Amino acid sequence: MFYFDAHCHLLPRKQFIKAMDAGITYFICNATHPRNWHKLLDVASTITGIYPCIGIHPWYIADLKSDWQVKMHLLFEKYPHLMVGEIGLDTTRPDLSRQAEIFEFCLKTALKYRRAVHIHGHESWGLITDILKCYPGLTCLFHRFSGTPSQAKQLSTVTNAYFSLMSVRPARYLPAERILVESDSPDGLHKPARVMELAERIGLDWAQLDANFCRFLGETMPMKGDAPKQLLTTQDDPISSQINLQNTPICSDKQSQPINSEAIK
Ligand SMILES: [Zn+2]
């Protein structure tokens, strides 16, 4: 058995060391702005057990340099285990159309390089579902999920969905095999080791959570496990073959394949 934190923002290096001393072995860590991408990748290259993600968080879209998209693609070319995150939408924050433009660029990047996506969707799950319908086949981790059963069901219809929790309530209606736990440290639960107590309150044992964590990573990393079949069909997808993907409209009416929605109670 091992302990993991499915979503955090730890940096610098000593924060990981502290959390490891407290018993956490694996971390999925999200760098949410280009200024942190290399810092995280440097730390992840020296500590075993850090699974890095890079993205643009919807809160940090204001001061992006013009070359961020090229940089992002270069890093995905270079690092076969790198994931996409944290990205998403937040209707409580300004400039939703710019948020959506960035979100969609990152989703296209995820499809192109066949990577999992870590999604922030505060108060925005309906809109996010509509956008994800345009990108069928993605494996997504919906971070700090606290939406309704019907929102969870819809997200599970359009993606290979996992739900990372920081509270107890959603565990009552989510399938146990789709649940992960997270600290969102240094905010959120403040310390990664608090996921141990959270798991206890949720009532899931770590054997189940560890199995979920391994399945999630196995399904999302072509180099570490089997890539999901649906992602293997996107190779010739013209939408993901170019780096310059500005001004992409939000589309909401494409068909998508149900994946695990039946399991949502
Ligand atoms: Zn976060």
pLDDT in tens, 113-123: 999 999 999 88
The predicted pLDDT at position 211 comes to 93
Q: Which two tokens stand for residue 208?
A: 């189940």
Cα 213 to averaged position of ligand 1 atoms, centre (Å): 17
Residue-wise pLDDT tens digits, 20-44: 999 999 999 999 999 999 999 999 9
Cα 204 to averaged position of ligand 1 atoms, centre (Å): 22
H helical segments located in the chain: 13-21, 34-44, 68-78, 96-113, 125-132, 149-158, 194-202, 206-220, 229-232
Assigned CATH for 4-263: 3.20.20.140
How many C-alpha atoms does 142 have within 13 Å on its Cβ side?
Answer: 30
The predicted pLDDT at position 213 comes to 94
Cα 32 to averaged position of ligand 1 atoms, centre (Å): 8
* Domain spans of the chain, in order of start: 4-263
3-class SS of residue 29: strand
Cα 87 to averaged position of ligand 1 atoms, centre (Å): 9
* pTM attached to this predicted model: 0.84
The predicted pLDDT at position 230 comes to 29
The predicted pLDDT at position 263 comes to 53
Q: Which two tokens stand for residue 108?
A: 């296209």
Question: How far is the C-alpha of 13 from the C-alpha of 242, rounded, in Å?
Answer: 35
Question: How far is the C-alpha of 70 from the C-alpha of 244, rounded, in Å?
Answer: 8
Ordered strands of the 139-142 beta sheet: 4-8, 26-31, 50-54, 83-88, 117-120, 139-142, 160-165, 179-181
Q: Which helix (H) or strand (E) holds 142?
A: strand 139-142
Q: Tens of pLDDT along the chain (265 residues)?
A: 899 999 999 999 999 999 999 999 999 999 999 999 999 999 999 998 999 999 999 999 999 999 999 999 999 999 988 999 999 999 999 999 999 999 999 999 999 999 999 999 988 999 999 999 999 889 999 999 999 999 999 999 999 999 999 999 999 999 999 999 999 999 999 999 999 999 999 999 999 999 999 999 988 754 333 333 322 333 333 222 222 222 223 333 333 333 344 555 5
